[in-house]
Amino acid sequence: MIVDKKYDVCVIGSGAGAGPVIYELSKAGYSVLVLEKGPWYRTKDFSKDEMAATRRSVYTPNLKDEPQVIEDLNEQGEWEAKSTYETGRDFWNGNCVGGSTNFMSGYFARLKPVDFKLLSTYGEIEGANLADWPIDYDDLEPYYEKVERIVGVSGKVVPHKYLEPRSTPDFPYPPLKENIVSSWIDQAAAGLNIQTIPLPRAILSKKKGDRQSCYYSNFCGSYGCSSDAKGSSRVALIHEALKTGNCTVIPNAKVYYLETNGRYQLQKAWYYDADGQKKSIEARVFVVAAQAIETSRLLLMSKNKEFSNGLANNNGQVGKNLIFSGGGVGGGDFYYDELDENLAKALAKPGVFVNRTIQDFYELVHPKTHQKIKGGTIDFLFEHANPVSKAIREKWDEDGHLRYGKPLKKHLHYYFTKLRKLKFEIFVDWLPNDNCFVSLDSHVKDKWGDPVAKIRIGHHPHDIMVGEVLAEKAKQILVKMGAHNIYAAISGAPPNNLQAGGCRFGNNPKTSVLNAQCQAHEVSNLFITDGSFMPTGGSVTYTWTIYANSFRVADILKQMLK
pLDDT in tens, 411-441: 999 999 999 999 999 999 999 999 999 999 9
Structural domain includes residue 521? yes
| Reported confidence tier of residue 263, pLDDT bands at 50, 70, 90 | confident
Give me the pLDDT at residue 112, please: 98
Q: Which residues contact 257 (CB under 8 A, 6 or more apart)?
A: 269, 270, 301, 302
Taking 90 as the threshold, does the pLDDT of residue 176 lie above it?
A: yes
Q: What average pLDDT does the chain have?
A: 96
Structural domain includes residue 343? yes
Residues 16-33 pLDDT 10s: 999 999 999 999 999 999
Question: Which structural domain, as residue segments, surrounds residue 547?
Answer: 6-561
Give me the pLDDT at residue 368, please: 86
Taking 90 as the threshold, does the pLDDT of residue 496 lie above it?
A: no
Range of weakest confidence among 241-250, 488-497, 527-536: 488-497
CATH number for position 483: 3.50.50.60
Mean pLDDT value of segment 77-90: 94
Taking 90 as the threshold, does the pLDDT of residue 153 lie above it?
A: yes
Please provide the size of the chain in residues.
562
Per the rule left: phi > 0, alpha: psi between -120 and 50, beta: everything else, 400 is left
Domain count, the chain: 1
Taking 80 as the threshold, does the pLDDT of residue 103 lie above it?
A: yes
Mean pLDDT value of segment 38-64: 91
Contact indicator for 321, 293 with CB cutoff of 8 Å: no
**CA–CA separation, 195 and 481 (whole Å):** 15
Taking 80 as the threshold, does the pLDDT of residue 1 lie above it?
A: no
Tell me the residue type at 393.
Answer: R
**CA–CA separation, 409 and 394 (whole Å):** 10
**CA–CA separation, 24 and 561 (whole Å):** 12
**CA–CA separation, 254 and 40 (whole Å):** 13
Beta strands (DSSP E) in 85-157 are none
Mean pLDDT value of segment 508-534: 98
- Please, where are the H alpha helices in 66-131? 84-87, 118-122
Q: Which residues of 25-64 are buried (b: 16+ CB within 10 A; e: fewer)?
A: bbbbebbbbbbbbbebbebeebeeebebbbeeebbbbebe
Give me the pLDDT at residue 91, please: 87
| Reported confidence tier of residue 3, pLDDT bands at 50, 70, 90 | low
Structural domain includes residue 1? no
Taking 90 as the threshold, does the pLDDT of residue 367 lie above it?
A: no
Contact indicator for 454, 297 with CB cutoff of 8 Å: no
Structural domain includes residue 59? yes
pTM of the prediction? 0.97
Give me the pLDDT at residue 57, please: 79
Structural domain includes residue 268? yes
Give me the pLDDT at residue 517, please: 98
Structural domain includes residue 248? yes
Contact indicator for 430, 326 with CB cutoff of 8 Å: yes
